[in-house]
Structure formats: C-alpha cells, structure tokens
Amino acid sequence: MPSVFIKTYGCQMNERDSEAVAAQLVTKGYSLAKSESAADVVLLNTCSVRDLAEQKAINKMKNLVGTAKKDRPNQILGYMGCMAQSRGKELIEKLPDVDLVLGTQKFHRAAEYLDELLAGKREKIVDVEAEAKSEATIREHLLNGSAKTSVSAFVSIMQGCNQYCTFCIVPYTRGEERSRSIPDIVAECRQLVSQGVKEITLLGQIVTSYGKRGFGRAELPLGQDAQQRVPTTDGKSPFVQLLEAVHEIRGLERIRFTAPHPKGYDDDLVEAYARLPKLVESAHLPVQSGSDRVLKLMHRGYTRDRFLGIIKKLRRAKPDIGITTDIIVGFPGETEDDFEQTLSLAREVQFDNAYIFKYSQRRDTPAAGMPDQVPLKIREERNHRLLETVNEIGKRKYDAFVGRRTQILVEGPSKKNPARMTGRTRCNKIVVFEGAERHRGQLLDVKITRAGSFTLYGDPAIVNL
C-alpha cells in the first residue's frame, strides 16, 4: 500500500485536520512515511493567515518538485487546507506538477481522491466546493499509533467563522460557522478517553460562538437577529452546555479550549471555571490590540475595558489562571499612541505569554485596502518592542513558579531531549523532568526547581512514584 507524508503549517486546527487525514489514510491501508523523499504521496496542509505562511508552503512545494519528485516521478503532490481553499486551481496552473488541491471542507475525501490519482483514473483533482455537514467529518484520531497512548487530544467542535475581522482571511478559507452537535462531540471524546486520553482540548475558530447558529448550516432568513437562534438553557450558552457534557465523561482529567472571542465571553463561561474542576486554569483570549480605535477598525466588537473586565473576572474566579493572547502590531492606521496602548495593556494584564503577529495584508479582506498601511520597518520595530515587554513579564511569571509544587499531566518524552519527560501544568506551562515512560498519562506533583524560557524544570527527587 502507498505511503504518505503530511507537512502542516499554521494553527492547532490545521494540526488537527492533518491528524484526521492521516488517520483516514491509515485506516485505508496507507503507511505514514518518515520523510517526504520516502513517500508515495506528499500533502502540504497550508495556512493563509499571513503571507509568510503561504510563501513557505509554496517554496516547499517548488522544492519538492525539484527533489523528491525527481527521484520518484510517480509521487503524488497535494496542497490541502486554507491556501488550497483560497487559491484553488491557480496552484496547479502555477506549478503543474501538483496533482491535488483539497479545500477545507473536503479533508474527508482525501483517501478517495488519492486512490483515483494513484490508480491513474484522474490526472489532477481540484475540489474546493462547500459541503454540508463537513464540520462533522474531522473525527478520526491517530493517538501515536499502537504501543504508546496519547495523553492529550484535540477535538474539533466547529468549523468556519462569521466574525469577519477586517484583517482576517479565515471566513473566506473556512467558510461560515457550522457546529457539530453535543452528542456527536461527546461520543468522540468518550472514545478517546476509552483509548487512554486524559486531556481534551476543544477546538474552533471562535468557540464562544459554538452552537449559536444552531447545528449544521445556518438556516434562518437573512436579517433575523442572531440572538434569537441562541439555544441558551438556564442562562448557559451552547458552549458552556458542551463543556458540562464533556465534563461528565468518566476518566477524563482535564478540559481545555481554544480560541474563545472576548465578544462572546460571558459570565456563564467565567462561572464554568469556578464550577467545573476538570476545566483547567488556563485561557487563551486573543485581544489583538489595546487601542479602542484600532479594535473598532479591526471589527472586533469589544473595547479594551470589556477585555480587561473579562480578565478581572477570570482572575477572581481562578487566581492562578494562566492567560495568553494574540496581538497584531502595525494594523493599518495604527499610530504610535495606539501601539503604546497595546504595550500598556500587556503590562496591565501581565500575560503569561503572547503570540505577536506583524500585520500581513490578506487579499479580499477589508483591511488590505485601508489607508495608512504601516511600513514594514515600523511593524518590525513594534514587534520587537512588544516582544521584549511580553518576554520580560513572562520571565517574571515563570520565575515565580520556582520553589512551588504543582500538578502536571505527563505527556511523554521531551522533544528536545528524549531522555527526559515533559508534562503540563493546569495553567498550561510545560515542565521538563527526569521521569520515565511509566509516568506517561499520570498526574504528578512536582517541585519546580528552575525556570527557563517559557519552560519549567521539575525536581525528580520528589516525584510521587
């Protein structure tokens, strides 16, 4: 049977999509190749959020055409995911050695299309059509193959986005928001737990919108107030109802989710942290800017005050909560004063970490055509200044763990040094310690002895054996 190599660019949702495609292919008898040069099929799962990510995938494909495919002329090359969706057949027109372009609603068709290409029944396949119910097709998991059990798994709860932030390409690459049903998601989580998974991260572009447009495709007539379709029960949003349902699963130890949106971050979700012990003390809440003027231009739908209010409530509910964010610097029209407000917000919130992005013009997005685009030099300079502030705060936060005892869930050997094990605190910090394979999947108390750059080190001497 053929072998496949999948390379993933971008976010956790892309990682999850790649895993589902790999699992689908393994079920059909494909093996997973260790390198692209050894594979019969190479798939690049692409990201379009920034131009850099697109260029990386395009250069990678050009490189494959000139190397791996030269040695294996029958090798099948494919693009899938966000860039495949937004560029479609243009990708094959530019690089005729590409055989497959698979859109974001078509991952479940990967095996069928590859079979046709490998059998020579079709020469090229481009499929970027919308497909009803495709949100429920990202469900197969690999769980690291046979002997070793994955401790942590990602579960896709919805696809698409209706927020239309002016900088963002996602609504155009992932389509409109569609949510899977609660029973369907719970069944997948139960299955994972029965296979040894202890921690589940619920994934969606904006999880706080989960279920708000009903399940499946939005059917209400245009112009009807979105709030009318919210199936809220006892003041709890559909997302909080989903958290409660997943929380019931016996054997599941921890629940995480990403990414919520400050606009839909209501008190029921803050209260869920206080009520549901498996919901760990960790929140990734993208703020994007500290300036109200820029937030408005971005069409984010909240103010700086509203964001700070949510953080305050979260810390009141869970004082030790780890808080991370996404920030864009150099959005069109961002002045030095706007940027200073972002710096001051970062200092005020004291994020544990922040992912900082230099604004990147994306085609078809409103911000790409806005006046006062910020020159690259200024975007780079702001990126650098904000990074310094974020790193300084992060270092203090990580240093504060030294000497403390904390619970970790052991995930497996450290990627950098496989002789050591890594685990994760409830507040989402990586802890490296001198453990052994038998610790995998265990909840352990460790004493933190040292803090490195966004990594903690635990003392093996007091690991509970």
Examine residue 439 and tell whether it contacts ligand SAM (CB under 6 A).
no
* Positions in 284-323 near ligand SAM (CB under 6 A): 286, 288
Q: Does 326 bind ligand SAM (CB under 6 A)?
A: yes
Q: Which stretch binds ligand SAM (CB under 6 A): 167-175, 190-198, 382-390, 414-422?
A: 167-175
Residue in 16, 50, 109, 440 binding ligand SAM, rule: CB under 6 A: 50
Binds ligand SAM (CB under 6 A): choice among 4, 80, 168, 295 = 168
What are the Cα distances from residue 330, in Å, to 116, 359, 402, 411, 455?
46, 5, 36, 37, 29
Of 215, 239, 357, 401, the one binding ligand SAM by CB under 6 A: 357
Question: Is the dihedral angle over the CA atoms 347, 353, 359, 364 positive or is it negative?
Answer: negative
86 belongs to the binding site for ligand SAM (CB under 6 A):
no
Of 50 and 318, CB closest to ligand SAM: 50
- The answer to the question of residue 328 lying near ligand SAM (CB under 6 A) is yes
Write the CB contacts of 220 (distance below 8 Å, at least 6 apart in sequence): 213, 214, 228, 229
5/357 with CB nearer ligand SAM: 357
DSSP assignment of 391-455 equals HHHHHHHHHTTTT-EEEEEEEEE-SS-TTSEEEEETTS-EEEES--GGGTT-EEEEEEEEEETTE
Task: Single out the residue of 98, 125, 203, 206 in contact with ligand SAM (rule: CB under 6 A).
Answer: 206
> In this chain, which stretch among 91-99, 269-277, 357-365, 438-446 interacts with ligand SAM, using CB under 6 A?
357-365
Residue type, 407: Q
Residue pair 408/444 in contact by the 8 Å Cβ criterion: yes
Q: Does 49 bind ligand SAM (CB under 6 A)?
A: yes
CA–CA gap between residue 108 and residue 113 (Å, rounded): 10
For 152, 199, 337, 418, 422, the CA distances from 414, given in Å and listed in that order, are 15, 18, 42, 5, 5
Q: Residue count of the chain, please give it.
A: 465
DSSP per-residue string spanning 342-353: HHHHHHHHT-SE
Part of the chain binding ligand SAM (CB under 6 A), chosen from 19-27, 162-170, 233-241, 301-309: 162-170
In terms of Cβ atoms closer than 10 Å to its own Cβ (0-12, 13-18, 19+), residue 292 is middle
Judged by CB, which is closer to ligand SAM: 80, or 252? 80
Least separation in angstroms between residue 173's CB and ligand SAM is 10
Q: Residue 203, interface with ligand SAM (CB under 6 A)?
A: no
Contact between 261 and ligand SAM per CB under 6 A: yes
The residue from 79, 107, 167, 401 that contacts ligand SAM (CB under 6 A) is 167
Q: In 3-state terms, what secondary structure has residue 29?
A: coil
Between the CA of residue 251 and those of 56, 278, 282, what are the distances in Å?
41, 11, 20
Residues touching ligand SAM, count (CB under 6 A): 19
Tell whether residue 210 is a contact of ligand SAM (CB under 6 A): no
| Residues lying near ligand SAM in the complex (CB under 6 A) | 11, 49-50, 165, 167-168, 170, 205-206, 259, 261, 286, 288, 326, 328, 357, 359-360, 362
